[in-house]
Amino acid sequence: MQFVRSTVIVSAILAMSGPAMAQTFIDEREAHQQERIEQGIKSGQLTGRETRQLERGEGRIDRVEGRDLAKGPLTAHEREHLNRMLNRESRRIYRDKHNAAHR
């Protein structure tokens, strides 16, 4: 009986922390992508124009996230949308870092 009760409590805690964990995951991805951009700048893999475009894309993601969070916790649809935006930006970072253009 004790095991069942503690399992229910743990399940309830995890269910409540789901949106918070998703928010943390999004923030971690944004930070990692920013690090990739900074590394590309330092190594010369990114030109000034590529850097400006990537930074503008990251800013767009931040604005959408801020707007969504202003309405309350992120919904599943909002998380999916942000994830798609992050995926698209990640592909752009890769493409720009691995093309023939260098600083």
Report the chain's terminal Cα–Cα distance, integer Å: 66
Distance (Å, whole) CA 63 – CA 65: 5
Interval 40-73: pLDDT, tens: 999 999 999 999 999 999 999 999 999 999 999 9
Q: How many CB atoms within 10 Å of residue 73?
A: 13
User: pLDDT confidence of 12, banded at 50, 70, 90?
Assistant: low
